Amino acid sequence: MNAAVRSITRVALQRDCLPFAIYEGYQGLVDGGKYIKQLGWEDVRGLLSVGGTSIGTARCADFRKREGRLKAVYNLITNGIDALIVIGGDGSLTGADTLRAEWSGLVDELVKTNKVKAEDCKHLREDLTIVGLVGSIDNDMSSTDITIGAVTSLHRICEAVDNLTSTALSHQRAFVVEVMGRHCGWLSLMAGIAVGADWVFLPERPPPLNHDQYGDDWETEMCDIIKKYRKMGNRKSLVIVAEGAIDRQLRPIKADAVQKVLSERLGLDTRVTCLGHVQRGGTACAYDRYLATVQGVEAVDAVLRSKPGTPAPMIGINHNKITSTPLMEAVKLTQSVAQAIHDKDFDKAMELRDPEFLAMYEAFLHSTIYSFNPTNPLPEKDRLRIGIIHTGAPAGGMNAATRIAARLCLNKGHTPLAIRNGFSGLIKDEVKSLSWADTIGWQVRGGSELGTNRDHPQPLPGGPKVSPKGDGGFIDLGLIAYHLQKHDINALLIIGGFEAYTAQLTMTHARDMFPAFCIPMIQLPATVSNNVPGTDFSVGSDTALNVIVEATDRIKLSANASRKRVFVVEVQGGSCGYLATLGGLTTGATTVYIPEDKINIATLQRDIQHIIKRYADEDRRNIPSEGRVIIRSEMASSTYTTDVISKILRTEGSGLFDSRTAVLGHLQQGGVPSPLDRIRATRLAVNCITWLEHAAFDARAENSDNHIPGTSEIYTRSPKTSCIIGIVGADIAFTPVLESLAHADVKSRRGKDQWWMGYTKLIKVLSKYEYEDLADEEGKVDLLKNRRDQEPDSVKRRGTIASPTSPTSKKGDE
């Protein structure tokens, strides 16, 4: 929420608006006075790394009454405020819409009782502009894919449960963990996937899952599943329970009841952990900072384009694009989920959630619960020997993807073959089938358990012009083909980044010469650089981004302690500026240097002058100078290196500011994968195995009458059977690797269409490149002075207000 307040404030100032903060939510709006404060640029400094909401929140019974709303209108009018940006859940947004609906009548009443003068509020009497931002850890608002705060809450849950898992494994215990989610199971489902839970309880989909077999007896169904996991070598059992979990008769399912079942029926040493308000706090993760920042920009724009009589908008995100939809339509749709649950129409409740929720639920079922579905495994003739290989640099989530892929293969009767140490390991016969127990604990492990390197298939003459990066070398295509045939691999899952992409491209191009490559092949993009064409997000990029955010937050603390110090922070990303750009946006960097935007003398001069101006202005106004950060992508320039830029800054800032460097290096490739990367890895892996099955089925059908002796039944040269899987918007997309060439810059090792490129300008906007304070001699900012006299009437009285209600607002909590 603080990231949203910062974004709204700074963008509003640059749009010639007057921003206020309403402290303590609607209670502050009712009480007025000191609770309504004009905001300047420096008032929101440092908010990105602060958890919760710095302007406070409070439940407000007064606002639910007309008398309270009348006071709120009085305080808005006397402060000249005619627009309200509300950050909260459906209850908070509904309250704002109620205020808007009563606005004219309340203003008339204030005029009639002589509490305000008609001429002072004439411009305000027609309409109150309302814009909603959804802040809810439950992610329970319809018409948006994700809400502000949900991913951070998921981080807190996963951190806690990861620690519990260590205890559970040591003592062979079972843990029942209760997480928040009164009417929405998003947190419990995503946490269950991210930590590798054995069972999850959701309000939208009560157990038992197999109603025909178990009726309403969810206890027996859960015990049967967990008992089988134990027999297969699982040393721990983990159950995630949403606080609003119910059975099919709408009876609550509590964590204590689940503990009793596991203890009494399975004899497991079972403990209960209720995470409670731990889930609501802590520093915001990278994704929430990004989401709140860009939605804050759109909220200000929505205020400025609003017209009387138009429905109040809610700012959301759909298919990775910021959206604006009618607020009350979204609220009503959200409330219809709870009604569907009340009516026991659980299928409808699931359908009313965003498409990704249903897709992830299916992914969880297929990779976990359906292990024991009596319709599996597949018939012998439909089973595959699927090779799984990692190539390129390690990335968080590679192991999670491999775990899910291997277990889904085993569930369906396929043979998952781990190819260790990339293509060089393949030609050394480092190939081993994976068992269910082999992948225990892989969901939370960083790096690559299979091993990976940059060794690359040697392209044929006329093939794609590629070269291994770093210490990678070329491997003969004939050797690779021979060993694929030797191990009877008839489908291939390649997990990696741009090396994986060009390796698959090379093998696809060589199909005419080597029949061993005429098998279904699919790449699951996994790279910190997020530079693979055909996907908005690669597995591993979110983990790296969170490492950058955490490290840069600490660096800024050092910079702030030294006051006048600029750190140049070098991040990875190769020739792709994704990490630097999103890292700069989510850490409050002054500017970023990326390969796509070349650095030159003019660029450095402009940025140095901007920093000098900022420090000089802070000195003049007696504002404590803050440390600053510039983020530089590792390949932004071969001339202007991180060290060179820092030395130039130090020289030019002599006597005013100092400069230091920080190179994050391989920290970005290691560590525990972020929850988002684990979730994305799971969803992509499930879809990869399903796609390989369908491609193999089509290949068998194609060759049934024209089978070539000496070749596998699965023989295909169709370009459609060599694909990249990707997340495009909120959907899963399969792009034939040969078609993707049109969208790839192979020489620069990145895609041509990079959705995030426009944010480089926003970083500068939020760093005050385009804004001048109008300050008086004492250094106090009067944002209206000298400004309104120059503005048209349509703009003069336009203002915005950032007013969070509850930092994790849900209906009834306001």
Q: What is the pLDDT of residues 585-630, one digit of tens each?
A: 999 999 999 999 989 999 999 999 999 999 998 888 888 888 899 9
CATH of domain 150-280: 3.40.50.460
CB atoms within 10 A of CB 231: 8
Comparing 309-313, 410-414, 610-614, 775-779, the range with the smallest average pLDDT is: 775-779
Cβ atoms of residues 63 and 813 within 8 Å: no
Q: What is the mean pLDDT of the chain?
A: 89
Cβ atoms of residues 685 and 405 within 8 Å: yes
Give the position of tokens 């560590």. 671
Domain 2-147+284-337+793-804 adopts which CATH fold? Rossmann fold (3.40.50)
Distance, in Å, from the CA atom of 599 to the CA atom of 548, rounded to the nearest integer, reads 22
State pLDDT tens for residues 559-589.
Answer: 888 778 999 999 999 999 999 999 999 999 9
Among left, alpha and beta (phi > 0; psi -120 to 50; other), residue 282 is left
How is the chain split into domains, by residue range?
2-147+284-337+793-804, 150-280, 370-539+673-751, 564-658
Comparing 341-345, 355-359, 493-497, 535-539, the range with the smallest average pLDDT is: 355-359
User: Which letter does DSSP use for residue 208 in this model?
Assistant: P
Distance, in Å, from the CA atom of 336 to the CA atom of 478, rounded to the nearest integer, reads 59
Structure tokens at 419: 């190819």
CATH of 564-658, one of 3.40.50.460, 3.90.650.10, 3.10.180.10, 1.10.10.60: 3.40.50.460
Q: Is 493 helix (H, G, I), strand (E, B) or coil?
A: strand
Q: Return the pLDDT at 813.
A: 37
150-280 shares its CATH topology with 564-658: yes
Cα dist from 175 to 40, 209, 280, 442, whole Å:
48, 21, 21, 19
How many percent of the chain have pLDDT more than 90?
66
Specify the amino acid at residue 756.
W
User: Any idea which residues carry the catalytic annotation?
Assistant: 138
Distance, in Å, from the CA atom of 631 to the CA atom of 663, rounded to the nearest integer, reads 10
In the predicted structure, residue 788 carries a pLDDT above the cut 90? no
CATH of 370-539+673-751, one of 3.40.190.10, 3.30.565.10, 3.30.70.560, 3.40.50.450: 3.40.50.450
DSSP 3-state helix, strand, coil percentages of the chain (rounded to 5)? Answer: 45, 15, 35
State pLDDT tens for residues 8-65.
Answer: 999 999 999 999 999 999 999 999 999 999 999 999 999 998 988 889 887 788 999 9
